[in-house]
């Protein structure tokens, strides 16, 4: 049976609102305070302290890339887009910033809490997937290194199976993983090749 993720307690969380002074910002801050969050506003630049916020609401209508000190998709907190204009270019820009949730302006008395929860869940899932992808890429790179090491050892072995067995023997004798042994073999072969090129030069 799959357990449903629990709804996080948002009380005490901090929110940065990147939006020009506007009644929508006042309404948003009132709703955030009612939920139990501490909000601060800024425009047009983010203060240095913004990186420590738990959430960031940003204006899609007048926002621009230079306002963010990080690349799209690398925000250190969940992003919530405040959307007033549904112009395709503005929506496309919000998507390029990889917003985790959205709130449509004018800001009313509903929608803020659900946007916070959705943003938190989407952000956490995106980070989890990024870690998983990085781990998979590392495994692929390690396998490629093993293949390169086996090919290097094949010159002195009768076949690939024998070369792989030799690699495993090296790993055991060095008391390291097969992947680390493969890296050492590849580095050694690269060093030998560089010396040979230098000698011929």
The pLDDT of residue 198 is above 60:
yes
Confidence of residue 69 (pLDDT cuts 50, 70, 90): very high
Residue ending a domain, among 49, 77, 109, is 109
Residues with Cβ within 8 Å of 100's Cβ and at least 6 positions away in sequence, in order, are 78, 79, 80, 118, 119, 120, 122, 123, 126
List the beta bridge partners of residue 18.
42, 58
Tens digits of residue pLDDT in 151-187:
888 876 667 888 888 888 988 989 998 888 888 888 8
Residue ending a domain, among 77, 109, 141, is 109
Residue 57 lies in a domain: yes
Dist. CA 68–CA 76, nearest whole Å: 11
- Whether 164 and 79 map to the same domain: the answer is no
Closest CA to 36 of 56, 9, 18: 9
Domain that holds residue 81: 14-109
Contact 14, 37 (CB under 8 A): yes
Residue 176 lies in a domain: yes
If one counts the domains in the chain, the total is 2
Of 54-58, 136-140, 143-147, give the range with the top mean pLDDT: 54-58
- Whether 137 and 95 map to the same domain: the answer is no
The pLDDT of residue 141 is above 60:
yes
Q: Round the average pLDDT of the chain to a whole number and report it.
A: 88
pTM check: above 0.75? no
The DSSP secondary structure of 2-62, one letter per residue, reads: PPPPPPPP-TT-EEEEE--S-HHHHHHHHHHHHHT-EEEEE-SS--GGGGG-SEEEEETTT
């Amino acid at each position: 049976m799959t357990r449903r993720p629990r709804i996080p307690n948002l009380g005490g969380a901090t929110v940065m609102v990147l939006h020009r002074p506007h009644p929508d910002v006042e309404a948003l801050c009132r709703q955030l305070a009612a939920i139990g969050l501490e909000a601060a506003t800024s425009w047009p630049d983010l203060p240095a302290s913004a990186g420590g916020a738990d959430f960031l609401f940003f204006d899609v209508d007048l926002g621009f890339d230079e306002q963010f000190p990080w690349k799209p998709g690398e925000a250190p907190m969940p992003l919530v887009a405040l959307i007033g204009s549904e112009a395709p270019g503005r929506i496309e820009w919000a998507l390029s910033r990889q917003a985790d949730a959205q709130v449509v302006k004018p800001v009313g008395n509903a929608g803020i809490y659900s946007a916070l929860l959705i943003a938190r869940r989407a952000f956490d899932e995106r980070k989890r997937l990024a870690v998983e992808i990085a781990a998979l890429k590392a495994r692929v790179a390690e396998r490629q290194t093993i293949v390169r090491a086996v090919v290097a050892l094949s010159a002195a072995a009768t076949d690939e199976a024998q070369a792989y067995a030799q690699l495993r023997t090296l790993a055991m004798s060095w008391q390291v993983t097969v992947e680390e042994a493969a890296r050492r073999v590849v580095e050694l072969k690269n060093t030998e090749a560089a010396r040979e090129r230098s000698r011929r030069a």
